Amino acid sequence: MAKMLKHIKSFGLAAVSVGLALALLLSSAVPAKAAEERAVKIGLHGAFTGPLASSGVFFGEGALDYVRHLNEVQGGIDGVRVEIPWEDTKALVAQSMSAHKRFKEKGVVAELIVETGPCEVLAPIAQRDKTPILYEGGPSEGMLTSPLRWVFGIVFSVDAWGTACAHWIKDKVWAEERPPRIGIVIFDVAAVHSVMEGVKRYADELGYEFIGYETVPLLAPIDTTVEWLRMAAREPDWVIIACYASSLVTVVKDAARLEIAKKGIGLITSPAALDEVMVRIIGNDSEGLYSSQCYPSPTVETELPEMKVLLEAAKKYRGYEPEKMTTWYVVGWTNAMVAVEAIRLAIEKVGIENLSGQSVRDALASIKDFDTGLLPPGSMSDDKPWLSDYFRVYQVKQGKFVSATEWIKTPVLWPWE
């Protein structure tokens, strides 16, 4: 018995020795492995289902594919892998708030959002939690936080989107001596009311006559005949259509049915409303319609440097041919690219060990002359919390976008000053 106990004790000491040796070996290997697996996280508020899915699916795919391409082709950010956990928030406020909480638990250093409502509600929460938000559109008054901005846009203020259209009408299209008479049809959401207010506010300064607006329901209106007849009775020269998703479909189809354009009334949609997917959904009734955009169309601007990379990635990862692409894929790709640039700048300044939402926010506010290869080079700051000051116009001809302008700098950028 004593001999057995002595044997067990001897074995136990040997096992402990082996265990200590293994522990030392493993501990020496951990730093190298950890260095290889270093990662930063960007949270994506997806709209893969729900009322904005026709656009949101491509936005999400563009963002996810940019990050995948970055990791596979460029090795991440100087060897640091980028991860992009996502939630299907449907672009709804409640779901976005829940997603933000989960993203915070996962340690994301920035979030990407596709719709104004969640951005406005989350702005003070993002400030409290020190997690910056990058919005695909332009910042609205409801997204402002002080003294520092925590929501940044890619393009100029949403309040100036309709004004950009009015500027194009007045300065690039209108040929008569009298000012053009411009009306606007909006759907019933706060940010789009701001689009209308911008058109109204800058009429005298930009030299057109604002004749009023009509409001249609937010989602899936059945018929907009009354609204169009009231607008036509005001005798507009041009009407800006600031409606999105299912509302846009009904509004455009009713305009065609009522032959609004044949009455000599020009029609242009506000930025991001009419993309290639919506043209396919609306069909022939979109013919001749003008579309203002703050991003380039991948079916038209195929020779842009980054567009070539994007189109190759879309075909590789999704099987998308160029003619089947949509501007919303470009939007998602660009948003992820700007977020990555901010993370790169933050790492450069504070190091990967000290990377935080605060350092990424500070980097977003310090981006200078950043060239995405898709948009004109742009800068951001707390005084100017968006990247691009430009828009362009396309027209639908034979079911496809054709370029009607080059980039135009909008005359109104920050309407709250």
Peptide bond into 411 cis (omega under 30): no
Specify the pLDDT at position 37: 62
Give the CA dihedral 393, 395, 400, 405, nearest 10 degrees. Answer: -40
Specify the pLDDT at position 26: 37
- CATH architecture for the domain at 160-293+394-409: 3-Layer(aba) Sandwich (3.40)
Closest CA to 66 of 272, 302, 317: 317
User: Are 404 and 393 in contact, with CB atoms under 8 Å apart?
Assistant: yes
Specify the pLDDT at position 415: 59
**For the chain, the helix, strand and coil percentages under 3-state DSSP, each to the nearest 5:** 50, 20, 30
User: Are 341 and 350 in contact, with CB atoms under 8 Å apart?
Assistant: no
User: Are 241 and 195 in contact, with CB atoms under 8 Å apart?
Assistant: no
User: Are 201 and 210 in contact, with CB atoms under 8 Å apart?
Assistant: no
Give the CA dihedral 232, 234, 239, 242, nearest 10 degrees. Answer: -90
Could you tell me whether strands 110-113 and 39-46 are parallel, antiparallel, or unpaired per DSSP bridges?
Answer: parallel
Closest CA to 295 of 199, 401, 172, 388: 388
Contacts of 121-128 spanning 24+ positions with Cβ under 8 A = 121/93, 121/96, 121/97, 122/96, 122/97, 122/151, 123/150, 123/151, 125/97, 125/100, 126/100, 126/150, 126/151
Give the CA dihedral 146, 147, 150, 155, nearest 10 degrees. Answer: 80
CA distances from 276 to 260, 293, 309, 371, 389 (A): 22, 11, 20, 25, 23
User: Are 370 and 387 in contact, with CB atoms under 8 Å apart?
Assistant: yes
Rg of the chain over CA atoms, in angstroms?
26
| Helix or strand (DSSP H, E) at 386 | strand 386-388
Closest CA to 388 of 335, 350, 313: 335
Specify the pLDDT at position 416: 55
- Helix (H/G/I), strand (E/B), else coil: 9: helix
Do 39-156+301-384 and 160-293+394-409 agree at the fold level?
yes
The fold of the 39-156+301-384 domain, in CATH, is Rossmann fold (3.40.50)
Specify the pLDDT at position 159: 87
Q: Please give the structure tokens belonging to residue 408.
A: 């135009």
Could you tell me whether strands 81-83 and 39-46 are parallel, antiparallel, or unpaired per DSSP bridges?
Answer: parallel
Specify the pLDDT at position 301: 96
Q: Please give the structure tokens belonging to residue 266.
A: 């020009």
Q: Which neighbouring-strand residues pair with 213?
A: 184
**Strand intervals (E) in 114-220:** 133-135, 151-155, 181-187, 209-216
Q: Which neighbouring-strand residues pair with 81?
A: 39
Establish how many alpha carbons lie within 13 A of residue 221's alpha carbon, considering only the half-sphere containing its beta carbon.
23
Question: Domain extents for the chain?
Answer: 39-156+301-384, 160-293+394-409
Q: Which neighbouring-strand residues pair with 407?
A: none
Within a 10 A sphere around the Cβ of 384, how many other Cβ atoms? 19
CA distance 391 to 249: 23
- pLDDT, tens digit only, all 417 positions of the chain: 444 444 434 434 344 343 433 333 333 333 434 444 689 999 999 999 988 888 899 999 999 999 999 999 999 999 999 999 999 999 999 999 999 999 999 999 999 999 888 999 999 999 999 999 999 998 988 899 999 999 999 999 988 999 999 999 999 999 999 999 999 999 988 888 889 999 999 999 999 999 999 999 887 789 999 999 999 999 999 999 999 988 999 999 999 999 999 999 999 999 989 999 999 999 999 999 999 999 999 999 999 999 999 999 999 999 999 988 999 999 999 999 999 999 999 999 999 999 999 999 999 999 999 999 999 999 999 999 999 999 999 999 999 999 999 999 998 876 555
